[in-house]
């Protein structure tokens, strides 16, 4: 009788257990981190701090006067020490490391912190890091990449900064499986969150498919409504996200990377118009995103005359900064109940999560 009663109880409970397991599996990382079900939580993130004086000023203004909540520093670059010291003096600033394995500009370049002689495969004929991600994947091995990641973390620590998170300049660490493994390994070892989108990835898939659509349009092969296959990296992202979560680090539900492509049509676009256009596009993107915690990347710079000697991207970067300062975008976020967060808060919430 006792066994029959146990079996009957189990039979009754199975549907409820199944429902609970299914509910857990469909929870967003935002919910796991303690935010309400259905909430949209955003990190507006400024990349490339430390790259130049203009980049530093853009990051500072975007965070202190605008809606940006976080940034990351390129430690091999000439203005990295200045920004890192600023972040140390302003501990409320959410400052991570933009792990840098490329040196993309033509004249303005940098070598690895591990040293030219000790970084075979990571440097080109000029003794600087490669221009392109593909060149790093082709020439560098995972051991040298890990060595450089550690050198960049250690430089920040020596200056007095405990990075709030790690991410990847130009996505190099996401372009090759062995590199990604070392990135996650170092983050786990130091107890530093690693930027990784392991959730629904609706916006990230849109970003990854954008160049495919552009190519098909140029070839006259694109039809509106065509369904593209899911990118390989997002197919594997859920499993990787679970690994990171189980190691005690927070995980993103989504990531948006393409704001650098936004520019209004016309030849005489003013900086203010460009900034307003980007603010409008951010509203559209926020409207499309699914509930969860997402990171949206900008490259804010407060442009000086010197920046034109670095890159032709100055106009877009200045517009990024203006979008972060835009009062209409700030009002939209407030009216829609969108929650702004930082990597620092993400880690604290992860420590308290089950």
**Average confidence score pLDDT of the chain:** 92
Residue 17 has pLDDT above 80, yes or no: no
Give this prediction's pTM: 0.91
Q: Is the pLDDT of residue 10 over 70?
A: no
Residue 61, both tokens: 């203004």
How large a percentage of the chain has pLDDT more than 70?
93
Backbone angles phi, psi at 304, to 5 degrees: -110, 170
pLDDT for position 4: 39
pLDDT band at 25 (very low <50, low <70, confident <90, very high): low
Q: Which domains does the chain have, with CATH numbers?
A: 29-352 (3.20.20.370)
Q: Is the pLDDT of residue 23 over 60?
A: no
pLDDT single digits (tens) 306-352 = 899 999 999 999 999 999 999 999 999 999 999 999 999 999 999 99
Residue 140 has a pLDDT of 98
Q: Which residues are bridge partners to 256 per DSSP? A: 296
Whether residue 136 contacts residue 102, with contact meaning beta carbons closer than 8 Å, is answered with yes
- Across 324-348, b (16+ Cβ under 10 Å) vs e yields bbbeebeebbeeeeeebbbbbbbbe
If pLDDT is split at 50, 70 and 90, which confidence band does 5 have? very low
* Per-residue confidence (pLDDT) for residue 15, from 0 to 100: 40
SS3 assignment, position 115: coil
pLDDT band (50, 70, 90) for residue 223? confident
- Taking 90 as the threshold, does the pLDDT of residue 11 lie above it? no
pLDDT surpassing 60 at residue 24? no
Residue-level pLDDT at 26:
84
Q: Could you give the CA distance from residue 72 to residue 284 in angstroms, rounded to a whole number? A: 25
What average pLDDT does range 72-82 have in this prediction? 98
Residue 322, exposed/middle/buried by CB under 10 A (0-12, 13-18, 19+)? buried
Using the predicted structure, report yes or no on whether residue 89 has a pLDDT greater than 50: yes
Q: What is the pLDDT of residues 142-169, one digit of tens each?
A: 999 999 999 999 999 999 999 999 999 9
Q: What's the mean pLDDT in 170-189?
A: 97
């Amino acid at each position: 009788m006792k066994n029959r009663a146990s079996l009957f109880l189990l039979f009754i409970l199975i549907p409820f257990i199944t429902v609970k397991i299914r509910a857990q599996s469909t929870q967003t990382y935002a919910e796991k981190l303690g935010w309400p079900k259905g909430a949209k939580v955003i990190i507006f993130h400024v990349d490339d701090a430390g790259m130049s004086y203009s980049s530093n000023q853009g990051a500072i203004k975007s965070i202190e006067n605008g809606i940006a909540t976080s940034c990351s520093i390129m430690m091999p670059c000439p203005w990295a020490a200045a920004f890192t010291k600023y972040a140390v003096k302003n501990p409320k600033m959410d400052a991570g490391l933009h792990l840098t394995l490329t040196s993309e500009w033509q004249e303005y370049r940098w070598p690895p912190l591990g040293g030219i002689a000790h970084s075979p495969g990571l440097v080109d004929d000029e003794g600087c890091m490669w221009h392109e991600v593909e060149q790093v994947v082709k020439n560098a091995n995972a051991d040298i990449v890990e060595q450089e990641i550690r050198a960049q973390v250690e430089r920040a620590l020596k200056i007095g900064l405990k990075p709030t998170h790690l991410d990847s300049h130009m996505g190099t660490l996401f372009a090759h499986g062995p590199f990604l493994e070392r990135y996650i390994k170092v983050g786990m070892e130091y107890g530093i969150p690693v930027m990784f989108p392991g959730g629904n990835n609706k916006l990230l898939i849109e970003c990854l498919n954008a160049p495919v659509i552009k190519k098909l349009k140029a070839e006259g092969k694109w039809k509106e409504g065509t369904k593209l296959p899911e990118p390989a990296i997002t197919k594997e992202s859920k499993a990787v996200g679970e690994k990171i979560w189980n190691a005690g680090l927070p995980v993103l539900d989504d990531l948006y990377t393409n704001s650098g492509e936004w520019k209004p049509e016309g030849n005489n676009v003013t900086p203010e118009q460009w900034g307003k256009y980007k603010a409008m596009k951010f509203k559209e993107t926020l409207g499309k995103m699914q509930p969860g915690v997402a990171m949206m990347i900008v490259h804010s710079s407060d442009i000086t005359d010197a920046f034109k000697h670095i890159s032709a991207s100055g106009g877009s970067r200045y517009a990024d900064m203006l979008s972060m300062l835009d009062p209409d975008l700030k009002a939209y976020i407030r009216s829609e109940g969108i929650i702004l967060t930082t990597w620092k808060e993400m880690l604290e919430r992860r420590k308290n999560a089950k």
